Amino acid sequence: MKSKIYILIGPPGAGKGTQAKNIASNKDFVLISTGDLLRDNVGRKTELGVIAKSYMDKGELVPTELVTKMIKANIKQNIGKNGFLFDGFPRDLSQNSLLDEMLKEFDLEVDRIIYIDVKNETIYERLTNRRICPKCKDVYHMKYNPPKKDELCDNCGEQLITRDDDKLDVIKKRLDVYHNSTQPLVDYFEKMGKITKINGEKAPKEVEAEIISNI
Ligand code: ADP
Ligand code: AMP
């Protein structure tokens, strides 16, 4: 059977990372989060990580050829699995064309794009209070989804961190990049009739249920 291909898209802070892990495990999909993969490389100070950091810290997109190389290796490793869930990729029209090309090589195509929609005010409130676990990638919010104990991950006990790019000026830049580069891709998916819009303002469990019912 052909692997299913789903894409989670939406502005920074929409809740993609929060949803991605649960959905992938619920549907037995391989999760490919470019942000997590890049942050992993940054943490390990790999050649890719050192280059990526200089873009990520400014809120800019990492050059497409670096990201697509990383994605391709990941798809290859997992070919034949039940499905793939992409979080954070593709980010613009050119990345989408490259994804289509890569999938074609494996005789695959995108089944559906899940767009998580939130208001601008929500984005700032969410990102300025976000904490992540550098080890297991769990996502927290100090007000809406705080860890049970101090700032330690409920799942693995690791000390939570604030992302280097969750600073006001970088958040603003990331939103500009989203509007200029990713929004045209969302418009394109809408025209193709392949997008399902989800209200990301609801509680995480409700958002999750809505996404799952659409996959
Ligand atoms: P993205 O991956 O789209 O950038 P995240 O999943 O990291 O977004 O979520 C951003 C922040 O918002 C995190 O602090 C997360 O805990 C919080 N969050 C995510 N979804 C919700 C929700 N439905 N309601 C309230 N807070 C949320
Ligand atoms: P995210 O975790 O999706 O919020 O992404 C964090 C940062 O990683 C972005 O601001 C970019 O610098 C980089 N990044 C993540 N995904 C991509 C991608 N598909 N293309 C280019 N850069 C990316």
The full set of domain ranges for the chain reads: 4-119+181-213
Using 50, 70 and 90 to split pLDDT, how confident is the model at 72?
very high
What CATH number matches the domain at 4-119+181-213, 3.40.50.300, 1.10.287.3610, 1.20.140.10, 3.40.720.10?
3.40.50.300
Name the residue of 34, 139, 177, 202 to mutate for ligand 1: max ligand atoms within 8 A of Cβ.
139
For the Cβ of 67 lying below 6 angstroms from any atom of ligand 2, the answer is yes
What is the residue whose two structure tokens read 């998580």?
A: 116
Mean pLDDT, the chain, whole residue set? 96
Cα gap 98→77, rounded to integer Å: 18
Give the residues across from 132 on adjacent strands: 139, 161
Q: What pLDDT is attached to residue 39?
A: 95
Q: Which long-range contacts (CB under 8 A, 24 or more apart) does 134-142 make?
A: 134/39, 134/43, 134/158, 134/161, 137/17, 137/21, 137/33, 137/36, 138/21, 139/17, 139/18
Residue 87's pLDDT is 98
DSSP reduced 3-state for 163: coil
Residue 90, preceding bond cis, omega within 30 degrees? yes
* Mean pLDDT value of segment 88-101: 97
pLDDT of residue 205: 96
Take atom 26 of ligand 1 and give the residue whose Cα is closest. Answer: 144
Query: Would the pLDDT of 200 be above 90?
Result: yes
Q: What is the pTM of this model?
A: 0.96
Is residue 126 annotated as part of the catalytic site, yes or no? no
1 pLDDT above the threshold of 90: no
Say whether pLDDT at 36 is over 90: yes
Yes or no: say if 105 and 68 are a contact pair by the CB < 8 Å rule: no
Residue 86: pLDDT band (50, 70, 90) is very high
